[in-house]
């Protein structure tokens, strides 16, 4: 879901929450927790039916926000004012959460089966991908009202918006990607792939979209022409994709490790033999962190593509996010959230989260 202007991935758009063991959470109010600082960064962690805010200064979990379940999609607006999560309170739909109060707003009941969420860079429009109606529904974040529709093929599952806010891309289970123009919500000609697209990453200059779907290739799409470029062989089980802030390298998790791709040539580099998983890159672009289900996080030096010493964070590490100042990485697992000091690569004390932790987003 993490340099979210340069990286749009399924973890920040739609993913399965991980069932977990129960843990204890603090019940302090968000106002009290953030008193004395108007810029406290908050992490939001999703489990099956609730969202848990975490104060990144005190590293304490705040009172859980019940949203109904099952929940598997969460996104935060680039301006940091709202978190959106698919939930069932008041009926199936999407629930907005104010980051100022940590209170849920009125459910947006426009989609029966929301599968993915995306937000434009100006934070004005939320896109709700609906598998039931086979479209993406454009919703005003100011009013919660529908402002447009983007028709797709059968069973859309993922969405990406380019950093310049001009275009969007919707992954569809019929092995196509539907491009659309954000200003008009007009769809373009479906882009045919050889697999069902599930994850996207967009270069910071908005010129290239990288897409994979668990196959052995990553496909590059030229956003100016919406034509497929070179199909990049990365090995079986292609998963998460993350792009460095300078746009020079894309990192792809696979069954055998992590493959760096030179975005200028679209040539894959030498496989980095570590346990693959969710990827987050520091704001300065120097380190990529890979969270593996085995309970370890491996740092990769992006200048050399050499892995560092694995960091043990507990069982079933699933998702990772990095604070905007680049000082701390937060890793979710079946027991809660583990902070990692980026300067030392040392894990801190586990932050227990009732119900466990899955997806995570952090205020910018």
Evaluated on CA atoms 12, 158, 6, 331, the torsion sign reads positive
| Tens-place pLDDT, residues 40-90 | 899 999 988 899 999 999 999 999 999 987 888 999 999 999 999 997 766
More confident residue, 9 or 191: 191
Query: In terms of Cα–Cα distance, which of 171, 132, 133, 169 is closest to 149?
Result: 133
Does residue 112 contact residue 158 with C-beta atoms inside 8 Å? Answer: no
Does residue 43 contact residue 361 with C-beta atoms inside 8 Å? Answer: yes
Q: Sketch out the chain's domains with CATH numbers.
A: 10-362 (2.130.10.10)
| Tens-place pLDDT, residues 87-110 | 776 667 899 999 999 999 999 988
Split at pLDDT 50, 70, 90, the class of 264 is very high
Rounded Cα distance, 69 and 89, in Å: 8
Q: Which residues contact 39 (CB under 8 A, 6 or more apart)?
A: none
Helix (H) or strand (E) holding 30: helix 30-33
Split at pLDDT 50, 70, 90, the class of 317 is confident
The percentage of the chain sitting over the pLDDT mark of 90, rounded to a whole number, equals 77
Rounded Cα distance, 91 and 112, in Å: 9
pTM over 0.95: no
- Tell me how many degrees the CA angle 75-76-80 measures, rounded to the nearest 5: 180
Query: Residue 307 above 60 pLDDT?
Result: yes
Helix (H) or strand (E) holding 12: helix 10-13
Cα 330 to chain center, whole Å? 13
Helix (DSSP H) and strand (DSSP E) numbers for the chain: 2, 35
Query: Residue 224 above 60 pLDDT?
Result: yes
Q: Answer whether the bond into residue 70 is a cis peptide, omega within 30°.
A: yes
3-class DSSP state of 93: strand
Tokens of 205: 């200059």
More confident residue, 327 or 335: 327
Mean pLDDT (the chain) is 88
Query: Residue 190 above 80 pLDDT?
Result: yes
């Amino acid at each position: 879901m993490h340099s979210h202007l340069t990286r749009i991935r399924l973890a920040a758009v739609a993913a399965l929450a991980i069932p977990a063991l129960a843990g204890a959470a603090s019940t302090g109010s968000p106002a009290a927790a953030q008193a004395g600082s108007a810029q406290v960064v908050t992490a939001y962690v999703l489990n099956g039916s609730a969202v848990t805010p975490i104060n990144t200064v005190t590293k304490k979990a705040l009172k859980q926000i019940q949203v109904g379940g099952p929940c598997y999609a969460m996104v935060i607006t680039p301006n940091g004012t709202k978190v959106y999560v698919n939930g069932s309170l008041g009926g199936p739909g999407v629930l907005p959460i104010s980051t100022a109060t940590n209170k849920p707003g009125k459910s947006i009941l426009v989609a029966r089966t929301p599968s993915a969420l995306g937000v434009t860079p100006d934070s004005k429009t939320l896109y709700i991908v609906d598998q039931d109606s086979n479209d993406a529904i454009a919703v005003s974040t100011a009013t919660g009202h529908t402002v447009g529709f983007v028709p797709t093929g059968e069973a859309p599952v993922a969405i990406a918006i380019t950093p310049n806010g001009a275009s969007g891309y919707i992954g569809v289970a019929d092995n196509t990607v539907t491009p659309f123009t954000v200003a008009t919500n007009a769809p373009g000609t479906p882009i045919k792939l050889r697999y069902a697209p599930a994850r996207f990453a967009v270069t910071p200059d908005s010129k290239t979209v990288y897409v994979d779907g668990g196959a052995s290739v990553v496909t590059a799409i030229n956003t100016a022409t919406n034509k497929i470029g070179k199909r990049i062989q990365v090995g079986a089980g292609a998963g998460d994709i993350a792009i460095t802030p300078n746009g020079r390298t894309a990192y792809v998790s696979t069954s055998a490790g992590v493959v760096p791709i030179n975005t200028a040539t679209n040539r894959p580099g030498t496989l980095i033999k570590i346990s693959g998983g969710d990827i987050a890159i520091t704001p300065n672009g120097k380190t990529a962190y890979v969270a593996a289900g085995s309970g370890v996080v491996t740092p990769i030096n992006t200048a050399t593509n050499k892995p560092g010493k694995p960091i043990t964070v507990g069982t079933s590490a699933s998702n990772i996010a990095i604070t905007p100042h680049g000082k701390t990485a937060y890793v979710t697992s079946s027991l809660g959230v583990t902070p990692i000091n980026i300067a030392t690569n040392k894990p801190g004390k586990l932050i227990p989260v009732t119900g466990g932790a899955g997806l995570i987003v952090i205020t910018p």
